[in-house]
Chains A and B, each alone.
Chain A
């Protein structure tokens, strides 16, 4: 069987990896129009921030034997009659065609951007975009990021991390698809604390261009922000061109059924950002990966495909200096009988929100609480056994019990002093009463300190305490000999 995959992004690449493992007999061609090997697109803003280098983005390339990765090969046309993908580098015949063409960045149609992007204006979709932005930071001192979604916020933080003066301009609240307005303002406080100027409710009127280069962003209300760099993070649209030209049904994305195949031609499938399943288009990598795995299994095992459901898509911001994680429901989307537990800590720019439905955590919002976010991610959508009181989820894995007293005076008699030999404070006091009134004598009598020696200090403390409260006739203290090291076995 021959499989051709169009699009070597994260989902196309993952699909090929999975199918190559599950069905080593299948021949696969992976066509990618970028000249790079498949890379981790999710981390482009990390590249801009300088927290990862280019090599750190390169994904495993399943290029071996019957699996071939064709970088820099652009699919020009699908000939469904001949079951062939036409490219400038020749035709690729398929039994199954998988479209993983992803999405295109949206460019807002305002003066200055209408005739192609001027120098200094960038979208953040491809590796070249990120490299261009990074290069531009060497000469620019200010930047405007347009768009308040995760990509815009990440890009703003990345540029700020490089010392650029950043203004973030958006028509909506920060991260408005993921955060309710009140919570969004907490996130905006976080951004502001990093030195990012956040301008919401803003309509961009035009982008100023001087000598072919951007120099400012003008708002409808007359405000102007200087900009050596303009980053457009205004959303994306599924790339459906190839499918539409081949006569396949497209709406927002390429329309596919529960089996991820196009109804008009069951030899053609679509996965990832370009696909519009009965559940809609996703735009996130996790559902795309789940589709890749499901489709690979179904092809490898010639089995029915069950459309994977990814519960309440998660958003985890990767932004230097900011932490926002959301999963599933939030206050405004919770059902009436859900329990919504909120922790609001405005001054620390922190907000945590939990939505519990029955015995399941169905919603998590964490702003400025990365440690708790990590814990709650592991509890999200986990079946059963939530704490009786969901408030306890806010305590993470940490204990709620009392800590033991380490003071020899205050510790209860039953407290174990020497774990290695199971000696309690009570045992030591008993031995003291029996005449063992030095550390050495207590060690002889109880074996305390003779294991790992970790309790020696504590035993010394108990001796000191007992000497004060119950002095022996001839008070002496001594330290155990700590020089018990040697390099070889003594001769018998």
Chain B
């Protein structure tokens, strides 16, 4: 029997693995409260999928042949050396993932900088958390998805979910919305009446069904009302926040009638929500309010500013750092939190240190046992990196770890062509994902129940992942892959293959950084302590709640930042008169590389669909289960209609977990946020038509 956590999302449901064959069952834990969704229940089935890769594969013509590890690693190392010698080390690119353990994410960043000597590393978390991270860093001085335990939601009067469908993405978390629903205080902002939006039915709260891409305007309008009607917490603002005056002015132009005309949200609802929030806030005598963002409000070309507008609102109401209340981003990927802290990001070193900061470089270089000058400078964010592949002066080789970027990237057909043009593609995976199928080498690696490590959940609490079974013969841990390649590439530093040793090195590297893990040991975690970073030493209890006394900014105060409406990059026009929004379904995780291989999940959701309003369906002559073709400037896809009044009549929705004809990321827009590099997955203009059978 092994106590571990689910392999999928950032809720990291506690689970017990036992039996033969191994099966998962839920375990009592504060975040999942003994619950688990069907992805978790069936998680052990991925261990034994029929097409599990158990030997290194080398591309031969149109197919693959199994080769020995030595043969594969020798050839990879010599080809890397050759490319690097011809074109410089930046010709090697690395693409990581938010599902990797802290140990693997840390070691991947180190591998890129010390063994490959490249600055060109980034990861798929750029597609998830980067806007929320950039905004929180800018305004609050630190980015920890939820700067409070998830269970705090139970005590609130109001919880606002902006662009989060957690009833589908992390169902057991819905339990923490129970009390606030009983108080009628759940507010869900979503263009769709999603499963989460339905939780507001029957007096449990309200659904704000705004026009896609107008989240920022909605927030400017709410702050306008809060300030205009004197609902702000002026004492808090005076004591703890800078920049209030500039922000006050910036929202003066967004009076409710104007906001209503842009967002489609009636003025009466805007005023009601602003007042409800104020009454729920500490200065209004309430039990507290939480404003939470998901990808729906973040995956925009103005995503950082949208999150900033949420933070401005939370600050105006005196929520951030209050005993009950605050702003949080609901992290998506399993280790989306830890994965963005320890060096996979183009501009970062472990401990959420910035790679351009000389003091940070010196600290990390000392831990790595190298001269600081050995560490390359900052690289470029994910979309820019992917689009530069095999371009003149762009990377010629690519390592992929824990990511199926051919399905999960925006404008994915272009990304495919870029990857196809590379001289060398090495993919570490345990199944032949769409991306692995393009590789020159596929290296078979361990998955969750086959390895030890740590994950950092959506609350910033560090969790232990524990090994329950041995991996199949021929499968290696990525730590072994890094060590063996580092040795062949004559890399400096030490390259342990033991997760505990790598983690202890991570602790030293993160010590003194914003995400300080120094005091969080395997021993303390295994003894059952609930440890949230920062935790600077082993006697420190960890930090479940940030900001109680001060903000980790230069002057200890939070900063309100004025932001401007920009609107979607790809706007409606006669040739593209319908909004497309994308999202997730309960049965699948991310690109579906794992969940599409689980029969029980795939049988109930085997392919993509197009959610469409009956009025719009009638307009294009679609009935029942007809196929719909969706076309944008970039590409097109086809999927079956799912006619539903739950979506706005000017918008269609498609889940993004699918490949081939049903791959909606062939249609989405690769325009990025200028600050975070986040692509605008969540809204673009499309043409729709009935697809003849």
In angstroms, Cα B644 to Cα A399, docked, is 8
CB distance from B93 to the nearest CB of A (A): 35
The 8 Å CB contact of A385, one of B269, B600, B619, is B619
| Given A56-B252, A385-B650, A378 contacting B264 (CB threshold 8 A) | yes
Which residues between 497 and 530 of chain B lie within 8 Å of chain A, taking CB atoms? 525-530
Contact B619 A387 (CB under 8 A): yes
The 8 Å CB contact of A318, one of B167, B252, B257, is B257
Give the tally of cross-chain contacts (CB within 8 A): 200
Q: Does B369 contact A (CB under 8 A)?
A: no
In angstroms, Cα B578 to Cα A452, docked, is 34
| Given A371-B268, A374-B260, A422-B604, A450 contacting B255 (CB threshold 8 A) | no
Which residues between 57 and 112 of chain A lie within 8 Å of chain B, taking CB atoms? 57-61
CB distance from B49 to the nearest CB of A (A): 20
Q: Does B639 contact A (CB under 8 A)?
A: no
In angstroms, Cα B168 to Cα A488, docked, is 26
* Selected A-B contacts with CB under 8 Å, 25 pairs: A43-B252, A43-B255, A51-B228, A52-B228, A59-B253, A60-B249, A60-B252, A61-B249, A325-B261, A377-B264, A378-B262, A388-B615, A400-B645, A401-B644, A419-B195, A420-B38, A422-B587, A450-B34, A452-B167, A453-B35, A485-B33, A488-B529, A488-B530, A489-B463, A490-B28
Which residues between 375 and 392 of chain A lie within 8 Å of chain B, taking CB atoms? 375, 377-379, 382-388, 392
Contact B528 A490 (CB under 8 A): yes
* A399, closest chain B residue (CB): B645
Q: CB-CB contacts of B190-201 with A at 8 A, as 1s and 0s?
A: 000101000100
- The 7 A-B residue pairs with the shortest CB-CB distance, nearest first, are A399-B645, A484-B34, A384-B577, A377-B261, A52-B228, A452-B174, A56-B228
In angstroms, Cα B151 to Cα A486, docked, is 11
| Given A51-B229, A371-B268, A388-B619, A421 contacting B41 (CB threshold 8 A) | yes
Q: Which residues of A contact B (CB under 8 A)?
A: 39-40, 42-43, 46, 51-53, 55-61, 314, 316-318, 323, 325, 370-371, 373-375, 377-379, 382-388, 392, 395, 397-401, 419-422, 447, 450-454, 484-492
Contact B174 A421 (CB under 8 A): no
In angstroms, Cα B33 to Cα A370, docked, is 42
Contact B650 A314 (CB under 8 A): no
CB distance from B204 to the nearest CB of A (A): 11
The 8 Å CB contact of B249, one of A58, A375, A377, A454, is A58
| Given A57-B252, A60-B562, A491-B528, A374 contacting B616 (CB threshold 8 A) | no
* A378 cross-chain contacts in B, Cβ below 8 A: 211, 261-264, 650
Q: CB-CB contacts of B219-258 with A at 8 A, as 1s and 0s?
A: 0000010011110000000000000001011101101111
In angstroms, Cα B211 to Cα A46, docked, is 26
* A421 cross-chain contacts in B, Cβ below 8 A: 37-38, 41
* B30 cross-chain contacts in A, Cβ below 8 A: 485-487
CB distance from A38 to the nearest CB of B (A): 9
* B587 cross-chain contacts in A, Cβ below 8 A: 422
* B651, closest chain A residue (CB): A397
Contact A454 B174 (CB under 8 A): yes
CB distance from B312 to the nearest CB of A (A): 14
Can you name 11 extra interface pairs (CB under 8 A) apart from A371-B268, A382-B572, A447-B38? Answer: A56-B248, A323-B267, A373-B260, A377-B260, A388-B619, A419-B171, A453-B35, A484-B33, A485-B33, A489-B14, A489-B29
Q: Does B618 contact A (CB under 8 A)?
A: yes
Q: CB-CB contacts of B16-44 with A at 8 A, as 1s and 0s?
A: 00000000001111100111111001000
Contact B171 A56 (CB under 8 A): no
In angstroms, Cα B247 to Cα A56, docked, is 10
CB distance from B615 to the nearest CB of A (A): 4
Contact B528 A489 (CB under 8 A): yes
In angstroms, Cα B230 to Cα A193, docked, is 28
Q: CB-CB contacts of B137-177 with A at 8 A, as 1s and 0s?
A: 00000000000000100000000000000011001111100
* A387 cross-chain contacts in B, Cβ below 8 A: 615-616, 618-619, 649
CB distance from B685 to the nearest CB of A (A): 10
| Given A60-B249, A316-B258, A384 contacting B526 (CB threshold 8 A) | no
CB distance from A238 to the nearest CB of B (A): 23
In angstroms, Cα B259 to Cα A43, docked, is 14
CB distance from A492 to the nearest CB of B (A): 6
Contact A316 B195 (CB under 8 A): no
Contact B266 A371 (CB under 8 A): yes
In angstroms, Cα B258 to Cα A373, docked, is 11
In angstroms, Cα B649 to Cα A53, docked, is 38
In angstroms, Cα B258 to Cα A318, docked, is 10
Contact A447 B619 (CB under 8 A): no
In angstroms, Cα B261 to Cα A51, docked, is 19
* B260, closest chain A residue (CB): A374
Q: Does B548 contact A (CB under 8 A)?
A: no
* A421, closest chain B residue (CB): B38
CB distance from B44 to the nearest CB of A (A): 14
Q: Does B81 contact A (CB under 8 A)?
A: no
* A327, closest chain B residue (CB): B261
Q: CB-CB contacts of B606-627 with A at 8 A, as 1s and 0s?
A: 0000000111101100000000
Contact B246 A60 (CB under 8 A): yes
CB distance from A372 to the nearest CB of B (A): 8
| Given A52-B229, A385-B577, A450 contacting B35 (CB threshold 8 A) | yes
| Given A383-B573, A452-B175, A58 contacting B38 (CB threshold 8 A) | no
In angstroms, Cα B645 to Cα A399, docked, is 4
* B41, closest chain A residue (CB): A447
In angstroms, Cα B228 to Cα A71, docked, is 23
Contact B255 A46 (CB under 8 A): yes
* A454 cross-chain contacts in B, Cβ below 8 A: 167, 174-175, 199
Contact A397 B209 (CB under 8 A): yes
* A422 cross-chain contacts in B, Cβ below 8 A: 38, 586-587, 600, 604
* A489 cross-chain contacts in B, Cβ below 8 A: 3, 14, 29, 463-464, 525, 528-530
Contact A58 B268 (CB under 8 A): no
* A406, closest chain B residue (CB): B202
| Given A378-B263, A383-B577, A492 contacting B648 (CB threshold 8 A) | no
In angstroms, Cα B576 to Cα A382, docked, is 11
| Given A314-B261, A419-B586, A58 contacting B526 (CB threshold 8 A) | no
Q: Does B646 contact A (CB under 8 A)?
A: yes
CB distance from B631 to the nearest CB of A (A): 14
* B572 cross-chain contacts in A, Cβ below 8 A: 382-383
In angstroms, Cα B646 to Cα A42, docked, is 36
The 8 Å CB contact of A420, one of B267, B529, B586, is B586
* A486, closest chain B residue (CB): B28
Contact B252 A40 (CB under 8 A): yes
